[in-house]
Amino acid sequence: MQTVRRVILFFVRHLFIAASIIIVLFWGINYSLKQYTRHNQFQIVPDLNGLLFKQAIKELKSQELRFQVIDSSQFFQELPPYSVIDQIPKKNSKVKKNRLIYLTINRSRQPLVALPELVQVTLRNATSIINAAGLEIGDTTYIDNIGQDMILKVNYQDQEVSSGFRLPKGSAIDLVLGNGRQ
């Protein structure tokens, strides 16, 4: 009986010691993780949309945040060149100090596109080709020609241009069409 009691006491004592060690280890790991990850220490991401790139850099550096430009292939006419179009994470997000902020920057100028082959194409077919190229149809002028709605000439800024001519995306091109009469 005495040995059974000793064994139980030995087991209970070691169980208590093991549980104490586990609790101390858990508390120590939890405390050190909170210190390492700077738990509850955050900054609010500023609104950089519309700011010029240099101003955005200055703002991010003042708040000890890093940046990386991820894209500058878009162009918005209404925004100044080299201004911030988008940011990740978004404004007012909570982030840690030294966090990397990804910026999308407006291009310096409108990208150039090549004028597709439009001469001897009907207006109906040319409309989809022009839209796909990122261009717009400006004025249409009709002259006497047997091909009704057939494109005879393409003008850009009052000068005749041919296929392959590079012009800013979104530009309006003027078309000279046949009216179906000789």
pLDDT digits (tens, 9 = 90+) for 42-98: 888 899 988 899 999 999 999 889 999 987 777 887 888 889 999 998 988 888 888
Tokens of 50: 């519309």
- Closest by CA position to 130, among listed 164, 170, 100: 170
The confidence score (pLDDT) of residue 96 equals 84
| Backbone phi and psi for residue 16, each to the nearest 5 degrees, phi listed first | -65, -45
The mean pLDDT value for 127-152 works out to 92
With contact defined as beta carbons under 8 Å apart, do 154 and 162 qualify?
A: yes
For the entire predicted model, the pTM comes to: 0.59
Does pLDDT of 174 surpass 90? Answer: yes
**130 pLDDT band (50/70/90 cuts)?**
very high
pLDDT of residue 1: 66
8 Å CB contact between 48 and 87: yes
Question: 174 and 154 in contact (C-beta within 8 Å)?
Answer: yes
How far from 49 is each of 35, 42, 67, 81, CA to CA, in Å?
33, 21, 14, 13
CA 75 to chain centre: 12
pLDDT of residue 55: 92
Task: Give first-to-last CA distance, the chain, whole Å.
Answer: 125
pLDDT at 170: 86
